[in-house]
Amino acid sequence: MSGGGDPKTPSESAAYKALAEQAGTYFNRYQDVFVPLENSYINSVVNIGSEDTYNRAAGAAGSAFTSAYTPELLNQQRQMLSQGIDPSSGKFQSASQNSYGKFGSAMGLGVSDSSANNTDRLFGGMTNLVKMGQGIQSEATQGQIGLAAASGKKARGAAETDFIKSQSNESVVGTGAGIVAGYGLNS
């Protein structure tokens, strides 16, 4: 930075200096205000990958599927009993096994889906962090509430589909038309 040595020639314009001053001021403010917030966000993203978060997601999904299926399972059994079908009969047991099998499968797949969703959230969060570091606009990360709502919706949809299928296949004994319709699964 020799500056040329001519005292009559300004080396930098006042506007340039002002811009540099603004950049320095912004940088200090960024360090004071935004860096702690960014680090807090980094912490939150990394914690998405904790076992606790996975367990919470799995627990919420399991509860959603239990809530969606249990009333239908009980209702199916009541229907069969009211039709005089002996619980020891092959018919009763076969229908029960079929329905509980669907419940177990749906619940297991729902729980594993919630885990995969959580890994997606972790990757989404880390991708956002990369973009944040590079000064690129980031995208919103799906929150845990959204994740739980998604599990609930899937559980209700699965229960509804399974019980409608059961009826159309006549694996639910008797004239069970309308069993599902009255149970308000379509929320």
Partner 1 sequence: MSVKTEPYGTASSNPNYNQFLSQLSNPNDVTSFYGSDGRLNNQVSDPLDVDSYMGDDDFGGQRLFADVIRRQTEDYMKRFAPIEGALASSITATGTTYLQSDLQRTREGIGGGIANAESQLSRNQERYGAVRRSSEDLSQEKTSAMVGGLNDTRARDSDRRMAVLSGGLGALGAKAREPIGGTGGGVGQG
CB of 171 to partner 1, least distance (A): 13
DSSP character for 30? I
Q: Which is nearer to partner 1, 32 or 178 (CB)?
A: 32
Token reading at 2: 């020799």
Nearer to partner 1, 33 or 181 (CB): 33
Tokens of 98: 């079929």
Tell me 10's DSSP state.
-
The packing angle between helices 90-133 and 35-48, to 10°, is 150
Q: Which is nearer to partner 1, 39 or 83 (CB)?
A: 39
For partner 1, which is the closer residue by CB, 90 or 186?
90
Minimum CB distance to partner 1, residue 81 (Å): 8
Give the shortest CB-43-to-partner 1 separation in angstroms. 6
Q: How far is the CB of 7 from partner 1 (least distance, A)?
A: 10
Listed residue (142, 113, 151) closest to 45, CA to CA:
142
CA distances from residue 182 to 73, 140, 162, 186 in whole angstroms, order as listed: 14, 38, 15, 10
